[in-house]
Amino acid sequence: MKYYLIVGEASGDLHASHLMAALKQEDPQAEFRFFGGDMMAAVGGTMVKHYRELAYMGFIPVLLHLRTIFANMKRCKEDIAAWSPDVVILVDYPGFNLDIAKFVHGQTKIPVYYYISPKIWAWKEYRIKNIKRDVDELFSILPFEVEFYNKHNYPIHYVGNPTVDEVAAFQAEHAKSMPYAVAGKNLLDKPIIALLAGSRKQEIKDNLPRMIQAASGFASHQLVIAGAPGISPEYYNRFIGNADVQIIFGQTYRLLQHADAALVTSGTATLEAALFRVPQAVCYYAPIGRVMSFLRKLILKVKYISLVNLIADREVVRELVAHTMTIENMRAELERLLNDTAYRNQMLDGYEDMATRLGSPGAPMRAAKEMIKLLSSE
C-alpha cells in the first residue's frame, strides 16, 4: 500500500519513522511519501519537504512566513492528489495537518488517519468538530485521551506511548552500571543534576538562566544541560556565562540515565525523565507571572501541564509555573528531591503508577497493525 505521512517537527519525525518501520514490517510492499525529516528518510521513501521548512512557532514568525506556509500547504495538497495514496497519516502538528485533513476529506476519497492526537483537551477543544468531520481514525498515545474523545462520541484507538518504546530500547542497549562518559566532555566524578530547559529558543531564554541559578547551590552535584536539537552551543553560551555547568547534545537519554534529579520544562521531557525514574521538578517561566497564572486557569482545560501528572491524574511531580517558578521554589524542591528520601520515594512510586497506565512497549507496531487491518477491511 501507499502511505503519505506529514510531520512538522523533530519529535514527529522520530515517532513517524518508528511507525513507518512497523508498517514496512507488516506490509513489505509499503511505499512512503512524506513531509518529514531525516529519520523518516532513513526508513525509506520520498521526502517532498523537510519539516524544517514548515516549523514556524509563535505569532510573529507565522505572520512573517504566511506566504511560505500557504505555499507549502498548496504543494502538499497537490502532491497528495497527484500521488493518490491509500491513506494519509497525520502526525501531531495540528495547525497544518487539520487543514490538510479538511482538504483530503472534502476533495478526495482517501482515508485520513491521525497518529498522535492534537492536544485539543488542553485548549482549542472546539477543534473536535474538525476532527470528527475530517479524520477517519485517530490513534492516541495518551491513555486519558480515550475518555476525552468518548465524551465527544468519537471513539479512538489507544495504542500505547512510543516514548516507552524509545526509553526501553535505550535501556536494553545501555547498562546503567557502565561508567558515565560523554564524548568530548570532561564531566566530573560527581552526581548529576540535569537541566532540560525546552526545545525552543524562547523557552531556553526564559527558563535556563533561572534553572542554573537555582541549581548552582548544590556543591555535591555537577550541572549538565541537555542541549536541544537545532539549537547551537553559542545560543546556550549566552545564558551559561561563567556558571560551572556543562552542556551535551544528542545524549539526553544517557544524561537522564545517570541523573540524580532534574529541572525540566514541560513537554515530552517530563515523561522521559519519569520513565528513567529521575525525580524532577517541572519548571515553566512566563512573564507577568501572576497574570499568566490567572489566564492559564481561564484558558487551559486541564489541571496540570506535565504529562506525568496528566497521565497519573494526580500531582506526582511539583509544577512550578509562571509566578511560582522562582529561584527559591526551585532550589527548595531540588533540596527535597535530593535529600528527603520519603519524598523522593513517593515520587518514584507515582512514576510506577504512571508507567502502568501507559502500558507496555510496542506502540508503533500496535498502531501499524491496526491501520493495516482497517485499510484492508475498506
Residues 282 and 351 in one domain: yes
For residue 183, what pLDDT is reported? 44
Q: Are residues 218 and 150 in the same domain?
A: no
239 and 263 co-located in one domain: yes
Same domain membership, residue 332 and residue 186: yes
Kindly state whether residues 115 and 33 are assigned to the same domain.
yes
**186 and 101 assigned to the same domain:** no
Is residue 74 predicted with pLDDT exceeding 70?
yes
Return the pLDDT at 303: 83
Residues 6+ apart with CB under 8 A from 167: 253, 272, 275, 276
Q: What is the pLDDT of residue 29?
A: 96
For residue 288, name the pLDDT band (cuts at 50, 70, 90). Answer: very low
Instruction: Answer whether 333's CB lies under 8 Å from 318's CB.
Output: yes
Domain count, the chain: 2
- The answer on pLDDT for 31 being more than 70 is yes
Could you tell me where the DSSP H helices lie in the chain? 10-26, 38-43, 59-64, 66-83, 94-107, 128-134, 145-151, 162-173, 201-215, 233-240, 252-258, 268-275, 289-299, 307-312, 327-339, 341-358, 363-376
Residue with cell 514527529: 12
172 and 137 fall within a common domain: no
Domain at 178, CATH number: 3.40.50.2000
Identify the weakest region by mean pLDDT among 26-35, 66-75, 141-150, 301-310: 66-75
Q: Are residues 60 and 43 in the same domain?
A: yes
pLDDT at residue 292 is higher than 60: no
Sole residue written with cell 492536544 = 119
Q: Write down the mean pLDDT value for the chain.
A: 89
The boundaries of the domain holding residue 259 are: 167-358
pLDDT band at 291 (very low <50, low <70, confident <90, very high): very low
Which range has the worst mean pLDDT, 119-133, 160-174, 266-280, 318-332? 119-133
Q: Residues 332, 348: one domain?
A: yes
Q: Compute the distance between CA of residue 154 and CA of residue 284 in angstroms, rounded to an integer.
A: 32
**Phi/psi at 259 (5° precision):** -80, 145
Q: Clarify whether residues 179 and 119 are in a common domain.
A: no
Residues near 52 by beta carbon (within 8 Å), at least 6 away in sequence: 37, 230
Size of the chain, expressed as the number of residues it contains:
378
Determine the 3-state secondary structure of 278 from DSSP.
Answer: coil
Do 24 and 156 belong to one domain?
Answer: yes
The letter for the amino acid at 83 is: W
Cα 3 to the center of its chain, rounded Å: 23
Angle between helix 201-215 and helix 233-240 axes, rounded to 10 deg: 40
Q: Which pTM does this prediction carry? A: 0.87
342 with 371, same domain? no
How much is the average pLDDT of 81-91?
98
Residue 340 sits at φ, ψ, to 5 deg, of -100, 100
